[in-house]
Structure 1
């Protein structure tokens, strides 16, 4: 990953600041309806209030921890399943032939289309929520790994084999390093899709989680809390993505360089 120039960071910061300034000016001049688009000050007050007093009797930290726990469990299961199955599918056609139709069938489906089935099968507790998030993250990660294996040049495999590499060495020193760029793309895409599914996962019989906070506040037209919750979710998502970018830069230093 190439280093982002300081000028780019500066432009991005100024862009965000410009939008916030326009928002503040429109709110100060009562151009925006406070019910649907509260001022930045009201959103900040809602955020600090949730941080100090919580929401519906539960602290903001607990809501975040519950959501992140669900995300972490689902993502961990996806890592343990999507990567091995993707590697096998990339090398063995009949395994890919078995799995691909199911992955391609459910991948474009809206989460709510099959969440009701998950609730019927696994109950309304965290199990159905974790499974929904797992399914959302599995498909992009699996497809990225399969694509990465498929792009490995055949002469690279033959060259390593001719030099005496066994199957374990071939995997550790040729296949795995070769798919790392696609793997990190899949990881970032997977986490992004999980985040878009979080609110759906916390819609049914949930009493905690940042997604639930946003959904519950919307029922009472608390747009200040809704926007504050969305901002918190966005900041966490950006932090996770930046962390993955830094990890990618450390593990795959050659990616993006000629």
Structure 2
């Protein structure tokens, strides 16, 4: 599965670099496109998780469409949205490292790639550990944010 994701990222990066060059814009656009699908699909699933009974009850109590959205739909969708953001953050981080390996002059991905070309195993291992450490910190931060924003969901 990872091979197919890496191949898809490489094809998208190649087209992205052809259109926008090697600059920062192409990397930002690539990361945005990689993160868009998981976040959008999770938001859609979250909005669909709001039950019709809850929406009808809010309407029966005189809630405006904006109040229904704010007090019923958004709280029901927030757990799924946060899960989509966690997934998107992981996809974005791996895409960033891959983009740095392919088309960058600096960054962790470029550092690891250059070190591997010169057989600097210590730098490669340290780069991989730093990449993993940051991924773990991002995950930990998102889980803490989930605990604060959606305490009714339970422990994540």
| TM-score above 0.5 | yes
Find 2:96's aligned residue among 177, 198, 214.
198
1:213 matches 2:126: no
Give 1 or 2: higher helix fraction: 2
Aligned position for 1:113: 11
The runs of 5 or more residues in structure 1 that have no matched partner are 1-106
Find 2:126's aligned residue among 207, 228, 243.
228
Aligned counterparts of 1:118 and 1:197: Cα–Cα separation in 2 = 13
Q: Which runs of 4+ in 1 moved over 4 A?
A: none
For the residue of structure 2 that corresponds to 1:221, the secondary structure is coil
The alignment's C-alpha RMSD in Å is: 1.7
1:248 matches 2:146: yes
The runs of 5 or more residues in structure 2 that have no matched partner are none
1:188 matches 2:86: yes
Larger RCO: 1 or 2 (CA < 8 Å, sep 6+) = 1
Q: Could you give the per-residue CA deviations for residues 106-137 of structure 1, whole angstroms, max 9, x where no partner exists?
A: x8972101211111111110111111111111
Cα offset, 1:167, TM superposition: 1.6
Cα offset, 1:172, TM superposition: 1.1
Aligned counterparts of 1:120 and 1:170: Cα–Cα separation in 2 = 45
Decide whether the 8 Å contact of 1:199 with 1:215 is kept in 2: no
Decide whether the 8 Å contact of 1:124 with 1:204 is kept in 2: no
1:158 matches 2:59: no
Q: How does 1:1-258 map to 2 (within 5 A)?
A: 110-256=8-154
Q: Could you give the per-residue CA deviations for residues 164-205 of structure 1, whole angstroms, max 9, x where no partner exists?
A: 111211111111110111111111111111122122211344
Range that drifts further, 205-214 or 170-179: 205-214
Aligned counterparts of 2:25 and 2:116: Cα–Cα separation in 1 = 25
Aligned counterparts of 2:111 and 2:18: Cα–Cα separation in 1 = 24
Aligned counterparts of 1:178 and 1:224: Cα–Cα separation in 2 = 47
Range that drifts further, 246-255 or 208-217: 208-217
Q: Could you give the per-residue CA deviations for residues 7-34 of structure 1, whole angstroms, max 9, x where no partner exists?
A: xxxxxxxxxxxxxxxxxxxxxxxxxxxx
Q: TM-score, normalised by structure 2?
A: 0.90
Decide whether the 8 Å contact of 1:145 with 1:179 is kept in 2: yes
